[in-house]
Amino acid sequence: MNYKNLFPIFSHHPELAFLDSASTTQKPQAVIDSISDFYSHDYANVHRGIYKLSETSSELFESSRETVKNFINAKKSSEIVFTRGTTESINLIAATWGEENIEADDEIILSTLEHHSNYLPWLNLATKKHAHIKKIPLTDDLTLDLDAYEKLLSSKTKLVTITALSNATGEIIDLKKIITLAHKFNATVIVDAAQSISHLKTDVQDLNCDFLVFSGHKMFGPTGIGILYGKAEILDKIPPYHTGGSMVVNIENDTPTYHAPPQKFEAGTPNIAGTIALKQAIQFIQKIELKNIQTHCQDLTSQARQILEQYPNLTIHSPKANNSIFSFSIEGIHPHDISTIFDSENVAIRAGHHCAKPLMEALKVPATARLSLHLYNTPQDLDKLDLAIKKCFKIFK
Ligand SMILES: Cc1ncc(COP(=O)(O)O)c(C=O)c1O
């Protein structure tokens, strides 16, 4: 099935093979229309006005929260907090739950695969609190070493924070195993679902994670809208992150009484249009169905692997079973040069450390080239990839 025509960008760039969806996804017409429609027909601030337009705007906004709640199977819509993105969601947890719960000599376990946004907030907190970061290493076949993970767990483990799908290698992580083991030690678990959310089914009750975070822009939605899911009993206890408008019930004698979650965490005027358009992105995914997205991307992943494996001087830095994302190097060619040559063939990929320096250290490379696939990609895009690789070898022979 060719899904490309559902995304207007490709009618403006018909030659483009966009292989950079791990960075951000392109937008379907319904999401683009939603933003324009909202500003044209329904725009007013939320949770403030006692007039019709503001009530409509608030209803649309809250209906998006309900859609997110159902999409990830949270128990209550109050467990869904709107943020600016995955990065802000994780910083929120570090600044609230982390500040209150991490103490000297506690241990925070994360993986070698983490994106910097699930590494630096914890590194900074650990430094401040004299706590320790423990990294789950990789095995020789580049999968997460779960035996090593079991050995890292102890009564000192306060937090396990883990990606669901690596943004650099495409490994799908066995979250159930990681979460079950962590809970045996009473550790709190955060899942970074930034990459997995538009590829794999997410059920927070089944996973039993304590927090789960993701970004709208990586799931066909707009930029500037993200999600923080937290179990109600945890969100109830932790302090607010930002303070300001719309998050207090009352202030008497300089003593604020905060709203219950999620309002407690949503100070200030939110990204109203982006939040409302996120609902369209989720409905788009639901209409196509995640299982079809997965099959489409898995077929393309197999084809991409066959192409990459043809070339003896090309090293794949992704495990055998990966989903939609490959990191690779070509001997003697800098990843930036690979990307530039690919661009001359209308193939858009990412080159660099992919905000995953611990992984680059483990791979002993400064940077890699990364291709990432999604719903709108086609076998023809991969033919272009093949031609672009051949061009690299021709230029650098
Ligand atoms: C696994 C992972 N986590 C977190 C992030 C950060 O997401 P954002 O930039 O939308 O906050 C990314 C972005 O690439 C990612 O791939």
Biggest distance spanned by C-alpha atoms of the chain: 75
- Centre of ligand 1 to C-alpha 194, Å, is 5
Q: Is the pLDDT of residue 250 over 90?
A: yes
CATH number at residue 343: 3.90.1150.10
- Indicate whether residue 195 lines ligand 1 (CB < 6 A): yes
pLDDT at 2: 85
Angle between helix axes 335-344 and 379-395 (nearest 10 degrees) is 120
Considering the chain, what percentage of its residues have pLDDT values greater than 70? 100
Termini Cα distance of the chain: 37
| Ligand 1 centroid distance, CA of 62 (Å) | 25
Same domain, 305 and 331: yes
pLDDT of residue 6: 97
- What pLDDT, on the 0 to 100 scale, is given for residue 352? 94
Whether ligand 1 lies within 6 angstroms of the CB of 25 is answered as no
Residue 173 lies in domain: 31-286
Distance 227 CA to ligand 1 centre (A): 12
Q: What is the pLDDT of residue 183?
A: 98
Q: Are residues 160 and 246 in the same domain?
A: yes
Same domain, 274 and 293: no
**Number of structural domains found in the chain:** 2
Q: Are residues 142 and 215 both part of a single domain?
A: yes
Residues 45 and 187 in one domain: yes
Q: What CATH number does residue 280 fall under?
A: 3.40.640.10
Residue 26 lies inside a defined structural domain of this protein: no
pLDDT band at 156 (very low <50, low <70, confident <90, very high): very high
- Which of 218, 354, 359 should be mutated for ligand 1, with most atoms under 8 A from CB? 218
For the cut 90, the answer to whether the pLDDT of residue 81 exceeds it is yes
Instruction: Say whether both 116 and 155 belong to one domain.
Output: yes
> Alpha-carbon distance 320 to 379, whole Å?
20
Residues 190 and 299 in one domain: no
Residue 355 is among the residues annotated as catalytic for this protein: yes
Is 25 a domain residue? no
How far apart (Å, rounded) are the C-alpha atoms in residues 256 and 250? 6
Q: For residue 71, is it within any domain?
A: yes
Do 99 and 189 belong to one domain? Answer: yes
pLDDT digits (tens, 9 = 90+) for 348-385: 999 999 999 999 999 999 999 999 999 999 999 999 99
Query: pLDDT tens across 260-296, in order?
Result: 999 999 999 999 999 999 999 999 999 999 999 999 9
- Listed residues 264, 286, 308: the one ending a domain: 286
Q: Answer yes or no: do 183 and 215 share one domain.
A: yes
Question: Where residue 47 falls among pLDDT bands split at 50, 70, 90?
Answer: confident
Is the CB of 191 within 6 Å of ligand 1?
no
Sheet of 107-111: strand order equals 80-83, 226-230, 211-215, 188-192, 157-163, 107-111, 132-136
Note the pLDDT of residue 256: 97
Structure confidence by residue, pLDDT tens digits, 313-332: 999 999 999 999 999 999 99
pTM: 0.98
What pLDDT, in 10s, does the model give residues 198-236?
A: 999 999 999 999 999 999 999 999 999 999 999 999 999
Label residue 128 by pLDDT band (50, 70, 90). Answer: very high
Q: Looking at residue 197, what is its pLDDT? A: 98
pLDDT of residue 23: 98
**Domain end call among 268, 286, 304:** 286
Q: Are 162 and 171 in contact (CB under 8 A)?
A: no
What is the CB neighbour count within 10 angstroms for residue 224? 17
Q: What is the pLDDT of residue 49?
A: 78
Question: What pLDDT is stored for residue 359 in this prediction?
Answer: 96
Evaluate whether residue 319 is within a structural domain.
yes
Question: What is the predicted pLDDT for the residue at 397?
Answer: 79
Residues 169 and 45 in one domain: yes
Residue 381 domain flag: yes
Decide if 26 contacts 9 (C-beta within 8 A).
yes
